[in-house]
Amino acid sequence: DGGITQSPKYLFRKEGQNVTLSCEQNLNHDAMYWYRQDPGQGLRLIYYSQIVNDFQKGDIAEGYSVSREKKESFPLTVTSAQKNPTAFYLCASTIGTTNTEAFFGQGTRLTVV
């Protein structure tokens, strides 16, 4: 069953801790993206990657880090430097890098406790 999978679905973090959100796709898509969704603010781009070992900052990259060691995987680390990490995080992938449909994962809801 092809698709894009995020895990875990729910994640709780203590203040000062780093946490890593997983995103895996078996669609053979080149590009992958991380978005943050807050109520009333739509989706904001955190990081994106066109190919393996390459990634670019989005509009709200501060306090986040990513890696792209494999085509199928694009994990996001929320560091302690992110001052307001509680949010819903969505990973997406596209087959190309120009004007193509984005396929989203089910999302991870991160809560700082």
Partner 1 sequence: GENVEQHPSTLSVQEGDSAVIKCTYSDSASNYFPWYKQELGKRPQLIIDIRSNVGEKKDQRIAVTLNKTAKHFSLHITETQPEDSAVYFCAASIPGGYNKLIFGAGTRLAVHP
Shortest distance in whole angstroms from residue 104 CB to partner 1? 4
Q: Which CB, 80 or 102, lies closer to partner 1?
A: 102
Per-residue binder mask for partner 1 (CB under 8 A), 18-57, x = binder: -------------x-x-x----xxxxxx--x-x-----x-
Give, in order, the Cα–Cα distances in Å from 24 to each of 15, 46, 81.
Answer: 26, 17, 25
Question: Does 97 interact with partner 1 (rule: CB under 8 A)?
Answer: yes
Strand segments, DSSP code E, in the chain are 4-7, 10-13, 19-25, 31-37, 43-49, 56-57, 64-66, 76-78, 87-94, 103-104, 108-112
Q: Residue 58 in contact with residue 109, Cβ under 8 Å?
A: no
How many binding residues for partner 1 (CB under 8 A)?
27
Cβ 97 to partner 1 shortest distance, Å: 5
User: Is the link from the previous residue into 85 a cis peptide, with omega within 30 of 0?
Assistant: no
Judged by beta carbon, residue 80 or residue 104, the one nearer partner 1 is 104
Give the chain's count of helices (H) and strands (E): 0, 11
Site residues, partner 1 (CB under 8 A)? 31, 33, 35, 40-45, 48, 50, 56, 58-59, 90, 94, 96-102, 104-107
